[in-house]
Amino acid sequence: MHRKYRSRRISKIYARILTGITLCFFYPAGYTTAQEVQLKDAVTVISRSVPSPMYETVGKILREEIGKRTGLQINRADRWPVKNAPVIAIALASDAVLDGVPVPVLTDKQSAMYKPEGFRVVTQVAGQRNITWIIGADSRGVLFGAGWLLRNLQMGSKTLKLSSPADVVSSPVYPIRGHQLGYRTTANSYDAWTPAQFEQYIRDLAIFGTNAVEGIPFHEDEIPSPHFTISSAEMRVKMSEICQAYDMDYWVWTPATFDLTDKAKRQAELDWHESLYKSCPRLDHIFFPGGDPGDNHPSEVMPFLKDLYDRLVKYHPNAKMWISLQGFSEEQVDYFYQYLDKYQPRWLEGVVSGPGSPPTAQTRYRLPAKYKHRQYPDITHSVRCEFPVPNWDQAYALTLGRESVNPRPAGFYKIQQTYAPFTDGFVSYSDGVHDDVNKIVWSMGGWDPQKPVTEVMEEYARFFFGTGLEKNVEAGIAALEQNWNGPLADNGGVEAALSFWTLLEKQHPRLSANWRWQMLLLRAYYDAYTRRRLIYEQGLEKKANEILAAATPDQLVQAMDNALGVLSQADKQPVSPDLRKKITELCEALYQSIGLQTSVPKYKASGYERGAVLDFADYPLNNRWWLEDEFKKIRTMTDKDAAYARIQQVSHWENPGPGSYYDDISSVSKGPRVATTSYDATDIAWWDNGMSRQRLSFQTFQRCPLLYYTNLDPAGRYKIRVVGSGDALLRVDNQRLSPVIYNKDGEGFKEWIVPFQATGDGKITVSFDEPEESDLNWRKQSKIYDIWLIKEN
What pLDDT digit, counting tens, does each position of 438-472 carry?
Answer: 999 999 999 999 999 999 999 999 999 999 999 99
Looking at residue 327, the DSSP 8-state letter turns out to be T
In the chain, what's the furthest Cα-to-Cα distance? 101
* The pLDDT of residue 540 is above 50: yes
pLDDT tens profile 727-776: 999 999 999 999 999 999 878 899 999 999 999 999 999 999 999 998 88
Which residues have CB under 8 Å from 409's CB, separation 6+? Answer: 437, 438, 441, 453, 456, 457, 477, 478, 481
- For residue 87, the model assigns a pLDDT of 96
Per-residue pLDDT averaged across 361-387, rounded?
95
- Chain segment 34-86, per-residue pLDDT in tens: 589 999 999 999 999 999 999 999 999 999 999 999 999 999 998 998 788 89
Return all residues near 509 (Cβ < 8 A) that are at least 6 apart: none
Assess whether pLDDT exceeds 80 at residue 585: yes
Task: Work out the mean pLDDT of the chain and round it to a whole number.
Answer: 92
The answer to whether 130 touches 123, Cβ cutoff 8 Å, is yes
SS3 content of the chain, % helix, strand, coil (to 5): 45, 15, 40
Q: Find the mean pLDDT for residues 586-614.
A: 96
Helix (H) or strand (E) holding 136: strand 129-136
* Mean local confidence (pLDDT), 580-595: 98
For residue 22, pLDDT beyond 70: no
Q: Is the pLDDT of residue 621 over 60?
A: yes
Question: Distance between terminal CA atoms of the chain?
Answer: 40
pLDDT reported for residue 709:
98
Lowest model confidence (mean pLDDT) among 176-190, 329-343, 596-610, 670-684:
670-684
Radius of gyration of the chain measured on its C-alpha atoms? 30
Give the mean pLDDT of 298-303: 97
Closest to 235 in 3D by CA, of 287, 288, 198: 198
C-alpha pair distances (Å), 301 with each of 264, 283, 323, 354: 16, 21, 9, 18
Considering only residues 690 and 539, tell me which one the structure prediction assigns the higher pLDDT. Answer: 539
Spatial separation of the C-alpha atoms in residues 701 and 681, rounded to whole Å: 8
CB atoms within 10 A of CB 531: 26
Give mean pLDDT, residues 346-365: 96
